[in-house]
Chains A and B, each alone.
Chain A
Amino acid sequence: MNRTSRHRIFVRMFLRPLLVRRGPVLTAVAAVMVAAAVSTATLNLYTDVQAKLRREFRSYGANVVVTAKPGFLPDDALARVDAAIGNRGVAIPLAFAVARTASGAPVVVAGVDFDRARRLNTWWSVTSWPSTPGAALFGKRAYGSLAPGGGALDLKFERHSVRVIPAGILSTGGDEDSRIYLSLGDFTRWTGLVPSTIEIGVTGSPAEIQSIVANLGRALPHAEVQPIRQMVEGETRVLGKTRATLLASTAIIILTAALCMLATLTASVFDRRKDFAVMRALGASQRNIVALFAAEAGAIGCAGAVLGYALGLGIAAWIGQANFHASVSPRFVVLPEVLAGSVVLAILSALAPISLLQKVQPATILRGE
């Protein structure tokens, strides 16, 4: 037999079972597919979920605060902060003054950018946001004790007075409840004070936040830039535990899927022990048989892996949509891992029964024992 005809026979023997024994082959492909799909979905989620959860954590508000060392921040401080954080977060400038009411009671009045505050401080429960000049957001306790009827209130800071109208009530359960918030423009016109604090919510890993803090420090050399430990630490801990849980689940799921695939493929090769015996009886060499079965298993593994990969991306996208209302971006990095894993496992599961069968005489197998 020359080389070409040997090749032709090999290809024929490789292709025939795929076409003739369609049922068992489909089962094997399906097993690989499920394993690959589940692995793809969980690996994809595992890499993407962190970014998704980090975004959720930003609802806790600021995790970095910039304060003027003494006095006030430079006029372009906000622009510098915005440039330093880029699109990774939101910064809100804040100015504070202790004003007095007509009766002389002290109250903290803050100047704030309402639009930015609304974006960063999602936990603020506000009845309605002020939009007109002179309209103020009253903290719940401030409203209750200073403007219970909702009427206008006269405030005095140093020698300047101003009349504010409560436009909405803010409740947070924190210090904000005792304050009155004005728009930054109104506040500066009244008191002449400019922001002394910028609260920033940035998204990222602890290392990324550290580097943003360092950038901010360089951008604003005369200010103090500090991460809010409470926020950064809480986020790190919860994220770490969630990731670890997900990792454990991923490992378990992939292991199950791989075992299931191994069992199915091994059984399907074992089922073909008669083919194997016939080939040996007709004088096929050990290497030929191993190559044939390995090629077949490899093809099944490949087909299953590609189908499963596509299916897995779909599952991951669905989970992202259902849970985070955002798509999980497909990780193409996962493809080679899934593909290689499936093919290697498929070939292993074909070779294991072969090596067992090799110890048995073909005649014994053909007799059906």
Chain B
Amino acid sequence: MFCRLLYQSFHRQRRRKLLAGIAIALGVAVTTAMIAVAADIGDKINRELRTYGANLVVYPDSDTLDVKIGGVDLKPPADGAYLKEADLPAIKSTFWRHNILGFAPFLPATVRATAGGRTQEVELLGTWFAHAFRYGSESFTTGVEMTNPWWKVQGAWPADDSNDILIGEALAARMNLHPGGTIEVNGRELKITGTLSAGTAENQQIVAPIRVAQETLGRPGAVRRVLVSALTKPEDELARRGTANPKSLSPEVYDRWYCSPYAASIAYQLMEVIPHSRAEQIRQVAQNEGVVLSRIKGLMLLVTLAALLASALAVSAAMATAIFERRHEIGLMKALGAGNSSVAALFFTEAGLLALIAGTAGFLIGVVLAQEIGIWIFNSRVAIEPVLFPVVLVIALIVAMAGSAASIRRAVRFSPAIVLRGDA
């Protein structure tokens, strides 16, 4: 009997069920889309924050102090230690290699540059532009084009295996040089492929493939420092304890620290794979990422809550209306001898069934909506956690039930005679 009532209710009152179902589907779709976007926004914004450049730096352990003012290296090249370029691919063997989006080695050298009959002492910065290498079975391309996205080049980027160079725009203006021209550096003729607009220091420099800098200094395979751009997790209590001294942690805590993508633990892993190195987080970038990320995540969370509230109210209003419209039916059932509990059971089951069916449809719509938002704003898909499906369904169930509860209680309280006469 119960099943037949249920079946007939869905079969006969298609329009009403459809309306309530649409309300639930809409609410669930909005909830799904908002939760999916809010959950993924951390990762998305984290990638955007990489525009700020590298958040980790690796330099030789036994290095003397940097003598740098305004980005210009004043340290005599004979001073200090170097890292080996050949050790760098191992960066892609660390535990968090997939979080390392890019890295670039740097080697500064002071050179005598001659162009148009004038000779000047300028700084030549050797680096990787878009260097391709293999580590294990994976191939990887990285360099300043990835780590320093704010570097703008007029002309073309040089190839890493060429003798071509970029020239800082301020230096280019001073020496009257243009892409396509040449410049003589320590007696070698180098071709200029483009002018570089970056920071104040780089605008005064020549930027060349690292091999050119190594040959100029007579130090094959040498690297002064490496900038690493990694996706990291904002610092928390565990991160601070680990940063202070990883060795002091108990083995389980150490494992947890080591296996979390904190800036400090990634730095620690970089030191493990690059011999004789020190790796540090660049606090200006690394620390602030955490602040900005947590603000944006917090904002989206609160907006999601507002969306949740709006859709919950929409769903419960729809359910309440649907039941209020059926008070005659309830009156008839009660007149025929149905108890309050069996009427309530029927209506709750209907609400639950409707929530499950419409909720599933709404979830699918929400997934599509989230993808559209992801592609529109971030040019990438939004990751949807499978666990979201049951969570959203449970929310839909609770909201549909709660929305119906008050109306059902009111409906069963009416005396059947009054309802059937049409006075209620």
Interface residues in chain A, defined as those with a beta carbon under 8 Å from any beta carbon in chain B? 27, 30-31, 34-35, 38, 41-42, 45, 49, 52-53, 56-57, 59-61, 65, 67, 96, 98, 105-108, 121-125, 141-142, 145-146, 171-175, 177-178, 197, 224, 226, 228-231, 233-234, 237-238, 241-242, 244-246, 248-250, 252-253, 256-257, 259-260, 263-264, 267, 271, 315, 319, 322-324
Contacts and interface: CB of A to CB of B under 8 A. Distances in A.
Contacts of B149: 233
Given A65-B200, A245-B377, A256-B314, 11 more contacts: A31-B313, A38-B306, A96-B70, A106-B75, A173-B57, A178-B67, A231-B52, A245-B41, A252-B369, A257-B314, A267-B325
Contact of B313 (A226, A234, A260): A260
Contact of A256 (B30, B280, B285): B30
B288 interface: yes
Interface stretch (B178-186, B297-305, B331-339): B297-305
Interface in B280-314: 280-288, 291-292, 295-296, 298-300, 302-304, 306-307, 309-311, 313-314
A249 B37 contact: yes
A31 B51 CA distance: 44
Contacts of B282: 172-174
Contacts of A237: 48, 51
Contacts of A173: 56-57, 280-284, 286
Contacts of A107: 65, 67
Contact of B314 (A52, A123, A224, A259): A259
Interface string B29-56: 0100110010001001100110111001
Contact of A174 (B65, B283, B298, B302): B283
Could you tell me the dominant secondary structure of chain B's interface residues? helix
Given A105-B65, A172-B283, A233 B150 contact: yes
B74 interface: yes
A174 B284 contact: yes
A177 B225 CA distance: 14
Contact of A229 (B74, B199, B284, B369): B199
Given A234-B49, A260-B23, A42 B292 contact: no
A8 B311 CA distance: 40
Contacts of B197: 229
A237 to B, nearest CB: 5
Given A249-B303, A253-B306, A315-B306, A323 B298 contact: yes
A42 B299 CA distance: 11
Contacts of B281: 173
Nearest to B63: A141
- Which size class do B's interface residues fall under? 35 or more
Nearest to A57: B292
Contacts of A56: 291-292, 295
Nearest to B305: A319
13 contacts: A27-B321, A67-B70, A123-B288, A229-B150, A234-B49, A238-B292, A241-B45, A257-B310, A257-B314, A260-B313, A263-B19, A271-B325, A322-B302
Given A231-B52, A249-B307, A60 B314 contact: no
Interface string B46-82: 0011011100110000001111111100110000000
Given A233-B51, A234-B51, A237-B48, A106 B30 contact: no
B378 interface: yes
A323 B295 contact: yes
B298 A60 contact: no
A142 B65 contact: yes
Interface in B191-249: 197-200
A252 B36 CA distance: 14
Q: Which of A105, A173, A250 has the most CB of B within 10 A?
A: A173
B315 to A, nearest CB: 8
B26 interface: yes
Contact of A230 (B53, B288, B378): B53
A244 B377 contact: yes
A281 B197 CA distance: 80
Given A234-B150, A323-B299, A34 B49 contact: no
B23 A123 contact: no
Interface string B132-164: 000000000000000011101000000000000
B122 interface: no
Interface of B: 19, 23, 26-27, 30, 33-34, 37, 41, 44-45, 48-49, 51-53, 56-57, 64-71, 74-75, 148-150, 152, 197-200, 280-288, 291-292, 295-296, 298-300, 302-304, 306-307, 309-311, 313-314, 317-318, 320-321, 325, 369, 373, 376-378
Contacts of A259: 26, 314
Contacts of B284: 60-61, 121, 123, 172-174
B282 to A, nearest CB: 4
A338 B309 CA distance: 19
Could you tell me the dominant secondary structure of chain A's interface residues? helix
Contacts of B27: 256
Given A249-B37, A322-B302, A175 B307 contact: no
B381 to A, nearest CB: 15
B317 A264 contact: yes
B301 to A, nearest CB: 8
A237 B52 CA distance: 10
Contacts of A146: 65
A60 B52 CA distance: 9
B372 to A, nearest CB: 9
Contacts of A178: 65-68
Given A38-B306, A229-B199, A249-B34, A260 B314 contact: yes
Contacts of A52: 295
Nearest to A139: B65
A157 B224 CA distance: 27
A175 B150 contact: no
Contacts of A106: 65, 67, 74-75
A238 B300 CA distance: 14
A264 B295 CA distance: 36
Contact of B48 (A38, A224, A231, A238): A238
Given A242-B45, A260-B317, A234 B74 contact: no
Given A56-B292, A106-B74, A319 B310 contact: no
Instruction: Give 6 closest A-B pairs by Cβ, nearest first.
Output: A260-B314, A178-B66, A173-B280, A234-B52, A178-B65, A323-B298
B75 to A, nearest CB: 7
B286 A59 contact: no
Given A67-B200, A264-B321, A246 B57 contact: no
Contacts of A49: 299
A260 B376 CA distance: 26
Contacts of A30: 317
Given A257-B310, A315-B306, A248 B199 contact: no
Contacts of B369: 252
Contacts of B295: 52-53, 56, 323-324
A113 B34 CA distance: 46
Contacts of A45: 299, 303
A174 B52 CA distance: 14
